């Protein structure tokens, strides 16, 4: 059976979040008292919070928190035993790469200016707009003559 803990690196110290989760546990369909008690037990171990902090939570969560606090915490495995059981691994290979350095590029004095190529589309747009105005003026002028 896989053990889980309701904590992660960014939520373990958030008491209000865990209070809200515990209070909402009764509203989740299919979530029984066994799961709620397991949540309380697993939450009490890493956080050390007391059942009084969960006054508005279902009773099963508070019972689980009390059970989790009453059980002694398991000591982590000793490192020398873990190292003795593990076969020695070869040393890690040397890793090399590129050194990053900041480079500042300076431009010549003054602004770079606009390239002549950028004037071509602008000139075409201005030419089309002027042509449209002239055609409209010619159309309205010839309309009044007849």
Instruction: Per-residue pLDDT tens, the chain, 146 aa: give them.
Output: 445 555 666 667 777 887 888 888 878 887 788 888 888 887 777 777 777 887 778 888 888 888 877 766 555 545 555 545 556 677 777 777 877 788 887 766 655 565 667 788 889 999 999 999 999 999 888 876 65
pTM of the model: 0.42
Q: How many separate domains does the chain show? A: 1
Q: Is residue 45 part of a domain?
A: yes
d(CA 13, CA 75): 21
- What integer pLDDT is reported at residue 111 of this predicted model? 58
Q: Is residue 32 part of a domain?
A: yes
Q: Is residue 127 part of a domain?
A: no
Q: Is residue 23 part of a domain?
A: yes
Tell me the CA end-to-end span of the chain in Å, nearest whole number: 97
* Structural domain range at position 20: 15-70
Q: Is residue 134 part of a domain?
A: no
Q: Is residue 142 part of a domain?
A: no
- What integer pLDDT is reported at residue 66 of this predicted model? 82
For 37, the 3-state DSSP assignment is helix
- What integer pLDDT is reported at residue 136 of this predicted model? 92
Q: Is residue 25 part of a domain?
A: yes
Q: Is residue 7 part of a domain?
A: no
d(CA 43, CA 6): 6
CA distances (Å), origin 9, targets 23, 68, 75: 22, 20, 20
d(CA 83, CA 117): 70
């Amino acid at each position: 059976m896989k053990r889980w803990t309701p904590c992660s690196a960014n939520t373990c110290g958030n008491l209000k979040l865990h209070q809200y989760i515990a209070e909402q546990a009764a509203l989740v369909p299919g979530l029984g008292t066994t799961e709620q008690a397991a949540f309380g037990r697993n939450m009490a171990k890493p956080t050390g919070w007391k059942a009084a902090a969960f006054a508005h939570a279902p009773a099963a969560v508070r019972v689980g928190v009390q059970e989790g606090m009453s059980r002694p915490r398991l000591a982590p495995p000793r490192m020398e035993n873990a190292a003795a059981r593990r076969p020695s691994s070869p040393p890690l290979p040397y890793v090399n790469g590129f050194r990053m350095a900041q480079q500042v590029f300076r431009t010549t004095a003054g602004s770079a200016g606009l390239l002549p190529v950028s004037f071509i589309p602008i000139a075409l747009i201005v030419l089309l707009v002027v042509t449209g105005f002239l055609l409209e003026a010619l159309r309205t002028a010839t309309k009044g003559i007849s």
